[in-house]
C-alpha cells in the first residue's frame, strides 16, 4: 500500500529515533564514568551493520531518511565504543579519537565502494549482492543485541544499558518497519532487518521486567511491611524513580544495617 507521505514521515521519525537513541546511553556512561555491563563488541557490531544497511537502503532507493539513518547509527555506535575504550580499557582521549576516526574513514570507504558496485550489479539484473547486504546487516544488528542476552543470562539482571535508549531504538525500528510497508513495494528484506532487532529489544524489556522490576516490587513490598510494624523509621527510604535505571557491574547495592543501640 503505497503512501509517499506516510513513508517519508515514518522514515523520518525512525531516523530521528536512531539519531538520538544512543544519546541517553552516552550521557549515562559519562555520569557514571563507567561502561561496565555495556558491551563494547555490541557497538562495533552496530557500527559495522551500518555499512551493509546503508548500501541496501541507498541502492534500493528507500526514502532519504532511511538512507541517512545507517550513517547516524555507525557514527553514534563508534562514539559509544570510544567511551568503552576510555572508561573500560583506560585508553587516552587521543587514542580513542584515532581509533574512531580510522574506523569511520575505513567503513565510509567500504560503503561508498559497495554502493557503486552493487548499483552496477542491480542495473545488470543481479539481486544476490543486495540480498547479501540485507542479511548481513540483519545478522550484525541482531548479534549486537544478543551480546546483552548473554550478559543477562550470566548476571541475571539487565545491567549497564539504558532502558530509555532501548525504548528509543525499538521505536526507531518500529517506525522504519512501518515506513517500509508504505513504500512503492513491500520490501520483505527491509521488514526482516528492522523487525528482527525490534523483537530482540522487546525481549530485553521483558528481561528487565523479570530481573529488574519484579525484585524491586518485592523489595518495596517487604519494606512497606516493615514500616507498618515499626512506626518510627530510623533511615530514609531510597527513591523509586530509578526502578528502570540499570546498574553497572561496579555498583553494588547493599542493605543499610539496622540501628543497634547496644
pLDDT tens digits for range 202-217: 998 888 888 877 777 7
Average pLDDT, the chain: 81
DSSP string, 182-228: TSSS--HHHHHHHHHHHHHHHHHHHHHIIIIIHHHHHHHHHHHHHHH
Residue 180: pLDDT above 50? yes
Q: Name the pLDDT band for 229 (thresholds 50, 70, 90).
A: low
pLDDT value of residue 2: 58
Distance CA 73, CA 54 (A): 10
For the chain, what is the radius of gyration of the CA atoms? 22
More confident residue, 105 or 209: 105
Question: Can you tell me the mean pLDDT for 126-143?
Answer: 90
pLDDT value of residue 152: 85
pLDDT value of residue 238: 39
pLDDT value of residue 79: 93
Residue 105: pLDDT above 90? yes
pLDDT value of residue 262: 41
- Residue 162: beta bridge partners? 245
pLDDT value of residue 115: 95
Q: Name the pLDDT band for 190 (thresholds 50, 70, 90).
A: confident
Q: What is the dihedral of CA 65, 67, 72, 75, to 10 degrees?
A: -170
Least confident of 107-121, 158-172, 191-205: 158-172
Question: Can you tell me the mean pLDDT for 240-261?
Answer: 43
Amino acid at each position: 500500500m503505497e503512501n509517499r507521505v506516510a513513508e517519508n514521515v515514518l522514515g523520518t521519525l525512525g531516523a530521528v529515533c536512531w539519531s538520538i537513541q544512543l544519546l541517553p546511553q552516552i550521557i549515562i556512561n559519562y555520569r557514571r564514568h563507567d561502561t561496565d555491563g555495556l558491551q563494547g563488541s555490541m557497538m562495533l557490531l552496530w557500527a559495522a551493520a551500518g555499512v551493509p544497511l546503508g548500501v541496501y537502503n541507498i541502492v534500493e532507493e528507500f526514502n532519504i531518511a532511511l538512507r541517512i539513518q545507517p550513517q547516524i547509527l555507525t557514527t553514534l555506535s563508534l562514539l559509544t565504543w570510544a567511551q568503552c575504550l576510555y572508561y573500560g580499557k583506560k585508553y587516552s582521549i587521543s587514542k580513542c579519537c584515532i581509533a574512531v576516526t580510522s574506523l569511520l574513514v575505513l567503513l565510509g570507504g567500504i560503503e561508498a565502494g559497495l554502493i557503486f558496485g552493487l548499483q552496477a550489479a542491480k542495473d545488470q539484473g543481479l539481486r544476490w549482492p543486495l540480498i547479501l547486504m540485507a542479511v548481513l546487516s540483519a545478522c550484525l544488528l541482531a548479534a549486537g543485541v544478543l551480546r546483552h542476552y548473554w550478559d543477562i543470562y550470566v548476571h541475571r539482571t539487565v545491567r549497564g544499558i539504558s532502558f530509555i535508549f532501548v525504548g528509543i531504538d525499538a521505536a526507531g525500528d518500529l517506525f522504519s518497519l512501518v515506513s517500509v510497508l508504505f513504500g512503492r513495494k513491500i520490501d520483505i528484506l527491509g521488514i526482516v532487518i528492522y523487525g528482527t532487532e525490534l523483537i530482540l529489544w522487546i525481549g530485553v524489556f521483558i528481561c528487565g521486567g523479570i530481573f529488574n522490576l519484579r525484585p524491586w516490587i518485592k523489595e518495596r513490598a517487604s519494606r512497606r511491611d516493615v514500616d507498618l510494624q515499626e512506626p518510627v523509621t530510623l533511615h530514609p527510604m531510597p527513591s523509586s524513580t530509578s526502578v528502570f535505571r540499570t546498574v553497572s557491574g561496579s555498583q553494588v547495592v547493599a542493605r543499610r544495617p539496622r540501628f543497634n543501640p547496644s
